Structure 1
Amino acid sequence: MKSENTHTETIKDLAEPKKTTTKKNKERQFKGMSLSERKEARREKLIEAGIETYGTHGFFSVTVKDVCNEAKLTERYFYESFKKSEELFQTIFIQLIESMQQNVMQSVMKASPDPKEMIHSGLTALFTMLKNDPRMARIIYIDAMLVQELHNRATIHETMGRFDRMIHAFVMLMLPHIDRSEKEISLVATGLNGYVTQIAIRWVMSGFKQSLEEILNACETVFVALVENFSKK
């Protein structure tokens, strides 16, 4: 059985933004920016344009030209950073997932150590993000499920695995003295992940027809039942 500190560290790792290192090379400056800085700035513009176009119109209705028009860049700059549309979409998907995970786990940590408050805060953070940014919701819970490239590269599988581990660590943080095997908790975490994912997909595809409160109640009921069941000796 892993220690409480191990799972706390897992959650902290998920809650903290990924650190990136940049090489400091002496490059020719143009308008105060080096070549690599200008290239990175164009890449970020394309990512922002991709979120806007894919999130608004859907991946399968958007062309490379559409993304470039939104970014106000020529197509040659698109291929400077990405080989094809699917690569840009995958980059956006992973970026949005990481942002979501960090937001959820930060909310969970702030509500610790009360289990019910942790459950409420984490789920509220997740579904509020989706409601406040329908573009993110569409990319993650509609188009990503349909883009074959993400399945071929196992991106979807890896992402689901990360959420499984996050929920696993979440359960261990709520119930540090739980008397269950790691395998059992892992299976339960996978089930909870699938449950929340299916509710999120249904909610997003319906255009958020049900209230946030109804969605939260449906999810919290299952998580709270888990806590109460696992708390029994």
Structure 2
Amino acid sequence: MAVQSGVYRGVSAADRAAERRSRLLDAALTVWADPEIRTTMTAVCAEAGLSERYFYESFSGLDAALEAALDHIAAEIEDISRRAADAAGQDPEARVRASVRAFVQLLEDDPRKGRVAIIEAVAVPKLRQRRTQLLRHLAHESALEAREHFGGPHRGETADETAGLFFIGGMAELVTAWLDGTLRVSADEIADAAVRVLLGLYR
């Protein structure tokens, strides 16, 4: 649906559309993360306080909205982890600990994000492949990070990518157990475990 032109109460049509899209994404996150609520377009619109007309202004359908929510979380995880690592300096161990700690803190601050990205996305057939793509992207980024800061001419690119997949896959399972209450550990203990694993994989 086309966005109407014009300014209303000092806010442009494009800004109003962006604000509605943001509300719908947040609503999708809330509904999707709640196992007691069936994830439907109607439920998302009700949570956002917007009509279906505005839903279709931003998304072609429910799967598109859920994929956008998943992509937004993945981008936030990547951004916050990278910024934390860069702030930690050049020491590889400090970078890993800061990166993972920031990631876990994000999930502590908003548990919806971890549940959606790591648990709920698996249950949606059309999004399962997208989740896999995002995890492999994060694995590749981990491999690039390790290659830059751990070095090692004896190890090839394939070995780095393999280790990255091991690391991200293991982190996904660890965080899943933490989120569903199977594993009772602190955020610092998760970060410490991640450091041990990554050091073992790349050194």
Shorter-chain TM range is 0.7 to 0.9
What residue is the counterpart of 2:179 in the other structure? 204
Matches of 2:141 and 2:175, distance apart in 1: 17
> Structure 1 77/207 Cα, relative in aligned 2: closer, same or farther at 3 Å?
farther
Kindly indicate whether the alpha-carbon contact (under 8 Å) linking 2:96 and 2:194 is maintained by their aligned counterparts in 1: no
Deviations 1:114-143 (A, max 9, x none): 111112111111112112211111111111
Matches of 2:113 and 2:85, distance apart in 1: 21
* Aligned residue in 2 for 1:164: 139
Paired-residue identity, %: 22
**Aligned-partner SS, 2:131:** helix
**Code of the aligned partner of 1:112:** G
- Compare 163-172 and 203-212 and name the one that shifted more: 203-212
Equivalent residue in structure 2 for 1:39, among 4, 14, 17: 17
Residue pair 2:97, 2:194 contacting (<8 A) in 1 also: no
Letter in 1 for 2:59: F
What is the one-letter code of the residue matched to 1:39?
A
What's the secondary structure of 2:11's corresponding residue?
coil
Q: Letter of the aligned partner of 2:160 in structure 1? A: I
Instruction: Mark the CA change 1:208 to 1:150 in structure 2 (over 3 Å): closer, same or farther.
Output: same
Cα distance between partner residues in 2 of 1:95 and 1:190: 21
Q: Is the 8 A contact 2:31 2:37 kept in 1?
A: no
Quick one: distance in 2 between partners of 1:95 and 1:59? 23
User: Are residue 114 (structure 1) and residue 99 (structure 2) matched?
Assistant: no
* Deviation (angstroms), 1:65: 2.1
Aligned residues: 200
Amino acid at match of 2:156: S
Q: CA deviation at 1:60?
A: 6.3
Distance in 2 (alpha carbons) for counterparts of 1:59 and 1:169: 40
Is contact 1:138–1:204 with CA below 8 Å preserved after alignment?
yes
1:61 match: secondary structure: coil
Is 1:214 paired with 2:192? no
1:216 CA displacement: 2.5
Compute the TM-score of the two structures, normalised by the length of structure 2. 0.88
Tell me the distance in 2 between the aligned counterparts of 1:97 and 1:167: 14
Whether 1:131 and 2:117 are equivalent positions in the alignment is no
Residue 195 in structure 1 maps to residue 158 in structure 2: no
CA RMSD of aligned residues (A): 2.2
> 1:30/1:132 Cα in 2 relative to 1: closer, same or farther (>3 Å)?
closer
Residues 98 and 43 (structure 1), Cα distance of their counterparts in 2 relative to 1, 3 Å cut: same
Give unmatched runs, 5+ long, in structure 1.
Answer: 1-26
Give the letter for the 1:131 counterpart.
E
Distance in 2, matches of 1:59 and 1:107, equals 34
Alpha-carbon distance in structure 2 between the residues aligned to 1:124 and 1:30: 43
The aligned residue for residue 29 of structure 2 is 51
Q: CA–CA distance in 2 between the matches of 1:35 and 1:141?
A: 35
State how far apart, in whole Å, the 1-side matches of 2:158 and 2:135 are. Answer: 17
Picking from 70, 74, 78, the partner of 2:47 is 70
Do structure 1's residue 176 and structure 2's residue 151 form an aligned pair? yes
2:91 maps to amino acid: D
AA matched with 1:165: H
1:53 Cα deviation after fit: 2.4
Q: Which runs of 5+ in 2 are unaligned?
A: none
